[in-house]
Amino acid sequence: MRDKPAVRTDLAAEARELWRERAAAADALEGVEVVETDEQGFAVTTLRVLDENGAKELCKPIGSYVTVSFDALLRREEDAFPRAAAVLAGHIREMLTLRRDERVLVAGLGNSGITPDAVGPAAVDSVLITRHLKKRMPREFSSFREVSAVCAGVLGTTGVESADLVAALVQKIRPDRVIAVDALAARSTKRLCRTIQLTDTGIIPGSGVGNSRSALNRETIGVPVLSVGVPTVVDAATLAAEYGADRRRAQDAAENMIVTPRDIDRSVNDMAKLIGYAINLALHEGLRVEDVDLFL
Amino acid sequence: MRDKPAVRTDLAAEARELWRERAAAADALEGVEVVETDEQGFAVTTLRVLDENGAKELCKPIGSYVTVSFDALLRREEDAFPRAAAVLAGHIREMLTLRRDERVLVAGLGNSGITPDAVGPAAVDSVLITRHLKKRMPREFSSFREVSAVCAGVLGTTGVESADLVAALVQKIRPDRVIAVDALAARSTKRLCRTIQLTDTGIIPGSGVGNSRSALNRETIGVPVLSVGVPTVVDAATLAAEYGADRRRAQDAAENMIVTPRDIDRSVNDMAKLIGYAINLALHEGLRVEDVDLFL
Amino acid sequence: MRDKPAVRTDLAAEARELWRERAAAADALEGVEVVETDEQGFAVTTLRVLDENGAKELCKPIGSYVTVSFDALLRREEDAFPRAAAVLAGHIREMLTLRRDERVLVAGLGNSGITPDAVGPAAVDSVLITRHLKKRMPREFSSFREVSAVCAGVLGTTGVESADLVAALVQKIRPDRVIAVDALAARSTKRLCRTIQLTDTGIIPGSGVGNSRSALNRETIGVPVLSVGVPTVVDAATLAAEYGADRRRAQDAAENMIVTPRDIDRSVNDMAKLIGYAINLALHEGLRVEDVDLFL
Amino acid sequence: MRDKPAVRTDLAAEARELWRERAAAADALEGVEVVETDEQGFAVTTLRVLDENGAKELCKPIGSYVTVSFDALLRREEDAFPRAAAVLAGHIREMLTLRRDERVLVAGLGNSGITPDAVGPAAVDSVLITRHLKKRMPREFSSFREVSAVCAGVLGTTGVESADLVAALVQKIRPDRVIAVDALAARSTKRLCRTIQLTDTGIIPGSGVGNSRSALNRETIGVPVLSVGVPTVVDAATLAAEYGADRRRAQDAAENMIVTPRDIDRSVNDMAKLIGYAINLALHEGLRVEDVDLFL
């Protein structure tokens, strides 16, 4: 906890914002590349941490970070949901670079009994699981990819690091990729339950809610890991720090306190469903957005 | 919303603290009487708003406010739970001033689908309901008071003010008292899920989470109302204001954002159970703390 | 309990089947009229109990009973859900015979904590509530009917008959119709969670799960009541009786035992959503099936 | 399904009853030893399948089966719960034969989303998890055994046999014993949620609800497995067969139908809590029944 910055975020896009606020006007953030686009009405930020300098400045590992903002979803525009699922699916597919027969394990991280931490397990509920079906009826399910899932629980209720459980399962069933879905902490309340970050750098389970665990990434698991993260909380300490509280006072207010949207139960469900659908679209080639419901 | 103070609290004890922080050292808060005691290890603050001046200064109606702090409960000291239930039950009994045969309706206010707002409905789950049993088996249940309950839902999901539903039911079944259990908003994160406020001034459902509804009190319902409130959230705007954010910036951050304990799901359950047990002990004379479980 | 028939059903269509099995081939069931049709792939049975003779023979009050079978829904055919909602909505509209400005109260009956009894409260979760919105923003919501809702709980957890609570609320807010959604008991496991019965004869809350309560109908409530019922359980005693167990042995097995589909949690949710959507389509003229999601 | 007997039970004690009903009066059941006792008011049946003949006759593997009946619990006698937990804990301790430092993994089997199948995951919620605490604070937790837990999910929602997941985790964290908690199918409705069977023969996940999976026992997992099973359902086909329905008719009624107690949600919670508490008492020597709550 010693060196923990008063303002904390799991979003690379926010880390860059923070850097800019601190930097002098003339400074350039070397080792970081950013592209911002609009896709079907959703703002997409693609940030690449290219080298050790960029990693150090942003406190984020070298790799790619794609952030999609879903404000349109919140405004409940017609067909916003299928459009959002399609955009997200496109980026998941691109980052996974899967061959036709490669297999995927989806890991839902976080505590299903704590609402803002439940987005991982809830997303798994919407994922189309095919591993057992393909084994029994290979022909009928030949057009589907082999997908399995696990909800790893949390250290406090299992006594086992979720990275360890996922690693054990990977050794047993040998998927080619792991998709890890988890709740994140953001700096800004504006992003809560409205943004999804994809990254190929893996995940540190629990980092989003204040307790870092052993990492879940290619090194620890043995296969590439795509992380899908949703900011659901702002640390109360972070909010306090943003508003000018000194470090000690902010820490004091923050102890075990989080800021969430008032309608967090519903927002978490919406985001989980969006992620589950997007994963289904990304993994199974023949699947159309409008059919995705049929299997759930 | 015009005149809404930036710092908002449903707790009379906090309203008094706020007054003191603003007042000059020499000022006395006239029309308000405060007594602080320790009961079985729990701090109890009894605050009486005596006249219009006190009501105006604290923005709280004339009446009694008893606040019990349950920090010992949080430390999980042995037998803290039965001690807490006994202390709370004593104050409930004192404020209800019931005769032997008088009947009670317990109203659980708030939205059971939103965790920090669910403490009312959850408390009702732990209340021993006897009205139907006394009707059918009057002799067997002669030593129990007649108790009924209602979960009134919230305006957004019923279209009916919960005060209207409770009033309609009171007209139909004619209880002598109403106990209304609801979630509150506090100013300080330290009090969240650790404090219970009892008041004979009734309740304004939803005021704890930012949307005032028509009041639930003796005037609107026709019988005396004892409110049992638990602070479960701090408005994000209140937190921001505490840390020096100006009004506009605080409002901005606050929109639909709340601060809660990280373990809100569990804390709400604990508080709800405590309130339910205390109500049972207060209403049924022969009941002992250790038997309270037998009926649930 | 004395005269309770060993085989028990809340479905008028099943009561008629039973009558036929007992009757001699030549018998005609006088006072009962039955029409069977197919609507968009769903089998619809419209049964009218015309007089006292029909009522006595079927043990069902005089009135109309429309039963829709949703087997196609179970087979997950494409667009089965919107088709089913449209068919159901048509019958609801027809039986309600509402004028343009008439108001509706939807009552979810049953115990939300007991899965097969939770279909009423769950359906209410999908109903579009407008009463408070029309009050605040009459112009914006002018094209919507005024709809409110209540979940009445069950006698065991409230001490109040749900019919009494609904009656009290009807007196207070004066709707023109009540739609009561409840779980039913069927005779045949084939119908569980696949059939919906609409009737204008009201409902006896709890009759579906073995404990009759005071009736909820035009006489007790003061306004016409449309009941929407879903069979979710078969009494174990009924199943035993069907298979030839004698009365005593069947009663013995049945005590507090029910037969449900293995996937009852999911089936109840599906049926609740279907009913909620159909009610929305029936009540709000401008609403299209494909928009129904936008408001929930 | 070919050879599946029409009457199905996971309880060895019921399998023996069935054998007796079929056997001629003079027959002796060789290879099976049964002792019946009363412990603190609870009936305990200890059945040992001694050889292949006994295994064949009862369709149960060689090993020990201890069945405890908790009717007194249902009558809500005072202190029935702690007595029941103590009796169950004694048998768990006896069958585990653990040395002081040996470690235990508790596996909750079954689907937490289907009430009668949720007893395994729900029991895990009441188990005191210490593995991570002992690692971080070995001295403070020196008097506790190392306990970890996993909820393995079900094949339909994970694509992975739960035995495979548990086996993978066992290889990773190397416990000395596995305790597997699961829902069972019984023959008699009288035993539902009133009986617990302990066996050292392992478990076939899902066998209780009609879909056998790969076994979870010493052979497949590599360490001794103690199974703790609670009958929560009777197959509708079994009930039908008991009442004399012929095989085909019974199968027909049974398809995906189960018989459960009406109050299954509550009963499953009660049984899960009992099992969790008993496991805690059995595993941690210093723990007293009255303290068990403090840690949960």
Closest C-alpha among C235, C188, C228, C190 to residue C209: C235
The type of residue at D184 is L
CA C227 to centroid of chain Cα atoms: 5
The DSSP code sequence of A99-131 is -TT--EEEEE-S-TTSGGG-HHHHHHHTS---H
Which residues from D are below 8 Å from C when comparing CB atoms? 113-115, 189, 192, 209-210, 234, 236, 239-240, 242-245, 249-250, 253, 256-266
**Chain C partners within 8 Å of A78 (Cβ):** 291, 294
Residue A159 CA to residue A97 CA, distance in Å, equals 34
Closest-CA residue of chain C to B162: C150
Average pLDDT over residues A236-242: 80
Contacts of D238 (CB under 8 A, 6+ apart): D6, D7, D8, D9, D185, D187, D250, D254
Confidence at C256, pLDDT banded by 50, 70, 90:
confident
Find the length of chain D: 296
pLDDT the model gives residue D213:
57
- Eight-class DSSP state of B200: S
Is the CB of residue D170 less than 8 Å from the CB of residue D154?
A: no
**ipTM for the assembly:** 0.89
Torsion of CA A116, A121, A123, A126, to 10 degrees: -140
**Chain C partners within 8 Å of D242 (Cβ):** 253
- Is pLDDT at C251 greater than 60 in this prediction? yes
Mean pLDDT by 10 residues, chain D (296 residues): 59 91 78 95 95 93 95 71 93 96 96 92 95 92 95 92 96 97 93 95 64 78 96 87 70 78 90 95 82 50
Which residues from B are below 8 Å from D when comparing CB atoms? 76, 78, 291, 294
For the record, the structure tokens of B170 come out as 């009171």
pLDDT, tens only, B66-111: 999 998 676 666 678 889 999 999 999 999 999 999 999 999 999 9
The DSSP code sequence of D129-156 is --HHHHHH-TTTTTTS--EEEEE---HH
Residue A154 CA to residue A109 CA, distance in Å, equals 8
Average pLDDT over residues A228-245: 85
C294 closest CB neighbour out of A78, A291, A294: A78
Predicted TM-score (pTM) of the model is 0.89
Q: Is the pLDDT higher at C185 or at C8?
A: C185
Residue C46 CA to residue C69 CA, distance in Å, equals 12
pLDDT, tens only, B4-47: 446 778 999 999 998 988 887 667 889 999 999 999 999 999 99
Cα atoms in the Cβ-side hemisphere of radius 13 Å centred on B167: 18
**Chain C partners within 8 Å of A291 (Cβ):** 78
A115 closest CB neighbour out of B115, B250, B257: B115
B294 closest CB neighbour out of D76, D291, D294: D76
CA C30 to centroid of chain Cα atoms: 25
Residue A278 CA to residue A106 CA, distance in Å, equals 12
pLDDT the model gives residue A75:
64
Residue A163 CA to residue A150 CA, distance in Å, equals 11
Residue D260 CA to residue D232 CA, distance in Å, equals 6
Helix (H, G, I), strand (E, B) or coil at C113: coil
Q: Is the pLDDT higher at C77 or at D2?
A: C77
pLDDT the model gives residue B252:
67
pLDDT the model gives residue A204:
75
pLDDT, tens only, A111-132: 998 899 999 999 999 999 999 9
Helix (H, G, I), strand (E, B) or coil at C296: coil
pLDDT, tens only, B232-263: 999 888 887 777 666 676 666 667 889 999 88
Q: Is the pLDDT higher at C118 or at A209?
A: C118
Note whether B265 contacts A240, CB cutoff 8 Å: no
Average pLDDT over residues B210-221: 76
pLDDT, tens only, A41-64: 999 999 999 999 999 999 899 999
Note whether B260 contacts A256, CB cutoff 8 Å: no
From the candidates D257, D266, D267, D270, which should be mutated to test the interface with C, based on the most C CB atoms within 10 A?
D257
- Is pLDDT at C197 greater than 90 in this prediction? yes
- Eight-class DSSP state of A47: E
For the record, the structure tokens of D211 come out as 């879909």
From the candidates C158, C165, C169, C284, which should be mutated to test the interface with B, based on the most B CB atoms within 10 A?
C158
Q: Given phi > 0 = left and psi -120 to 50 = alpha, else beta, which region is C50?
A: alpha
Note whether A169 contacts D171, CB cutoff 8 Å: no
Note whether C250 contacts D243, CB cutoff 8 Å: yes
Q: Is the pLDDT higher at C74 or at D168?
A: D168
Work out the mean pLDDT of chain B and round it to a whole number. Answer: 87
* Segment D248-256 long-range contacts (CB within 8 Å, at least 24 positions apart): D249/C243, D250/C243, D250/D6, D251/D6, D253/C189, D253/C239, D253/C242, D253/C243, D256/C261, D256/C262, D256/C263
